[in-house]
């Protein structure tokens, strides 16, 4: 069997390939199945995407300062813990206070942007690609 990939290439059964830095695809029974990387929390106001990297990171100057000792945020969040509140929102516990940051998405310039599983912001895949070609995503 062959699959017509979202990047416009025909792939053979069992073939895997990276669609981008965050997405790995597989040709399975004539269907393209893609999964995206799940990124760790970014507890800062403006995380930065690095070229060639999937996950955004906090610049050193923007990271929330966390000392070695501090008060926990309730029974289940120790001082210094960072977590993902939802797909677009990361939080950190600093000395008994929770600070949360919502990711700001850049404007997309295509007619049919795609929102991939585990990603906050939509992306453009190309002018010949449609949303339906990108589904399904596997877990």
DSSP for 64-119 reads: PP--SS---SSSS--TT-EEEEETTEEEEEETTEEEEEEPPPPPP-SSS-B--TT-
pTM here is 0.57
Residue 13 within any structural domain of the chain: yes
Expressed as residue numbers, the domain containing 14 is 2-38+109-134
Residue 69 within any structural domain of the chain: no
Number of domains in the chain: 1
Residue 129 within any structural domain of the chain: yes
At residue 2, the 3 state secondary structure works out as strand
% of the chain surpassing 90 pLDDT: 6
Q: What is the pLDDT of residues 17-41, one digit of tens each?
A: 887 788 888 899 988 888 887 788 8
Residue 84 within any structural domain of the chain: no
Q: What is the pLDDT of residues 76-94, one digit of tens each?
A: 888 888 888 888 888 888 8
CB 40 within 8 A of CB 26: no
Residue 11 within any structural domain of the chain: yes
User: How confident is residue 57, by pLDDT bands cut at 50, 70 and 90?
Assistant: confident
């Amino acid at each position: 069997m062959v699959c017509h990939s979202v990047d416009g290439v025909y792939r053979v059964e069992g073939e895997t390939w990276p669609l981008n830095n965050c997405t790995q695809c597989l040709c399975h029974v004539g269907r393209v199945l893609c999964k995206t990387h799940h990124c760790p929390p970014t507890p800062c106001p403006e995380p930065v995407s690095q070229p060639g990297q999937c996950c955004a990171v906090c610049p050193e100057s923007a990271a929330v300062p966390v000392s070695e000792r501090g008060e926990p945020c309730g029974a289940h969040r120790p001082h210094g813990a960072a977590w993902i509140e939802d797909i677009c929102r990361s939080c950190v516990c600093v000395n008994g206070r929770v600070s949360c940051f919502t990711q700001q998405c850049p404007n997309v310039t295509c007619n049919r942007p795609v929102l991939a599983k585990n990603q906050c912001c939509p992306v453009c895949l190309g002018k010949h690609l449609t949303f339906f070609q990108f589904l399904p995503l596997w877990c």
